[in-house]
Chain A
């Protein structure tokens, strides 16, 4: 079984299945999480979410724990939050991160603040899962990567897996975590194949992963930007430039120590982030490293981000929106100039 390969979507589905097997307090709710709600065999449960991630759940766990909902994002997030505060572990499927603004009060004013406002007495173990990312031609209102927005908010954890292995382990950690967690599933992750052990395991939230070691430049890449960063690193290696590629894996908390240590070694930092640049995680990491490792920097920090625009439809525009390998290469070379 050591070579078992799953897609990202399968790995996430397996994590949900195993979490529900392990703990009867875990429930899943959201629009289309089963599909065909109330219609019975063979329709009910067949859809399993917009991307088939939850397809195995309904037949195994039934309608009490796998709850299809109306299109009511505020109610889905709010009931999940309240149920978590009342002691169960809901996993709310928000479908796309672009839809979470409809539930923003529930996440921002309620879930994130309950523990603090109430002096530590509230425990809110809720996970909000959501797809994100450009590349499908889904344009302005389906493609946002809102992880930077949520990283800004104290009381939330923000998780951005980039491989099937991490997705499973991080989701199991997120469900076990006693805090509200936003779990961002990039569209590119769903189809990506990778090694995933069958047994349940966790990957700690707050620990970055060094995907490739190198001594000339540090490339921090968020979510599926890791794929571009690795490809760029291989091309640079052919030119004799060795890149250290780091996947933070969670943005809140952020593993500052691993970033600092790497920049102290390489003296150069490039951040690759598929979101608009202002007040973004790329800007945040640049600021933190600027404060913590300024003395080690041999060149200005470079951010490779999306432009400050919504996500466009037309393929050439959408491709211009997503950070490219060429832009990563140019950014790295500018730090070496």
Chain B
């Protein structure tokens, strides 16, 4: 912790709080009933997106998941444009064609959330391939869950990325549940990072209730990829503090189990450390929260007052024009 300067620590904290407050706001707004589609919030996983994306810039690529709001925000997407997308508005990041599960922002190297479990893994590796062909030092990160760790495409892509030494980082967010199925049941190894050995790449598991631990592990993996040493598999262990989706009755787990997972919230311990070290104070915590609230209020207002797409445009954006 002493390695990181005050600005970096504050940026990590503020970014985590932005995601948390964004998701809490989305939860409240979704329950009002005027947001279409499915929403899966990133609550409890904030340390992963924030600590990984802190090492990336706009020319680096990420691919994300159905639980992707945190990745978008950490990669720099505008919260108001994201909210407009969630509400299906023409001003949304994807002009209302994608929604929560298909947000992308190509200007920021955000190659898309993906509603196919494991669907983004090969795409990010493709971004890494493009970087290698161009000879640039860009890297790519693919975020996926413990559920996707059992998809065949991950096997193919880790093998291919290893033999080509692609600058890609595989970040498995293990929240213990593939929808309602426990990882202990679904997965053949105790540590998903052990699977890296099958592909001749480094694998590391990290407790993602500790944002600084993730920051260090991700920094090493990004440096490795950027310097041409190839892929890394990171298993970031998180507690699933919320249901699979907003509205999930969660009959598949006990209240005690959920409470235990909620106790792994990454934000309180980080806040306590920053308070103890004098990086944060009660008043700066309040002012950071107030600043985020202003952004979210404006974002919700922007979203709700933006026009819906014109029904006559239902066939727009299928094909790129012929040059």
Contact = CB atoms under 8 A, between A and B. Distances in A.
A106 interface: yes
A82 interface: yes
Interface residues of A, number: 48
Interface string A79-118: 1111111111010000000000000011001100011111
Given A88-B134, A110-B123, A115-B318, A122 B104 contact: yes
A82 B106 CA distance: 12
Interface string B286-323: 00000000000000000000000000000011111111
Interface of A: 25, 27, 64-65, 67, 69-70, 72, 74-88, 90, 105-106, 109-110, 114-125, 154-155, 157, 176-179, 205
B129 A79 contact: yes
Contacts of A177: 320, 322
A116 B107 CA distance: 16
Contact of B153 (A78, A85, A157): A78
Given A27-B133, A69-B160, A70-B160, A83 B127 contact: yes
Interface residues of B, number: 48
B121 interface: yes
Contacts of A178: 320-323
Interface stretch (B7-15, B42-50, B89-97, B276-284): B89-97
Interface stretch (B111-119, B215-223, B248-256): B111-119
Nearest to A65: B133
Interface of B: 61, 63, 92-98, 102, 104-107, 111-112, 114, 116, 119, 121-127, 129-134, 152-153, 156-157, 159-160, 163-164, 316-323
B61 A86 contact: yes
A204 B322 CA distance: 10
B184 to A, nearest CB: 27
Contacts of A155: 318-319
Contact of A74 (B122, B134, B319): B122
Nearest to A67: B164
Most A-side CB within 10 Å, residue of B93, B125, B160: B160
Contacts, number: 154
B126 A83 contact: yes
A251 to B, nearest CB: 14
Given A72-B160, A116-B317, A120-B317, A84 B95 contact: no
Contacts of A123: 320
B122 A86 contact: no
B133 A82 contact: no
Contacts of B111: 82, 85-86
A117 B98 contact: yes
A75 B112 contact: no
> Nearest 9 A-B pairs (CB), nearest first?
A82-B126, A78-B122, A119-B95, A82-B123, A75-B156, A178-B320, A119-B94, A86-B130, A72-B156
Given A69-B160, A79-B129, 20 more contacts: A70-B159, A81-B122, A82-B111, A82-B124, A82-B127, A84-B126, A85-B126, A86-B111, A86-B130, A110-B123, A116-B317, A117-B94, A117-B102, A118-B102, A118-B112, A119-B93, A121-B106, A121-B107, A157-B319, A177-B320
A106 B126 CA distance: 12
A75 B153 contact: yes
A125 to B, nearest CB: 8
Given A70-B163, A105-B116, A79 B122 contact: yes
A87 B323 contact: no
A177 B112 CA distance: 22
A117 to B, nearest CB: 4
A207 to B, nearest CB: 11
Most A-side CB within 10 Å, residue of B104, B107, B316: B104
Most B-side CB within 10 Å, residue of A117, A121, A155, A178: A117
Contact of B319 (A88, A115, A119): A115
B85 to A, nearest CB: 8
Contact of A78 (B95, B112, B132, B157): B157
A75 B319 contact: no
A80 B130 CA distance: 9
B130 A119 contact: no
A330 B198 CA distance: 59
A157 B318 CA distance: 11
A120 B119 CA distance: 19
A286 to B, nearest CB: 23
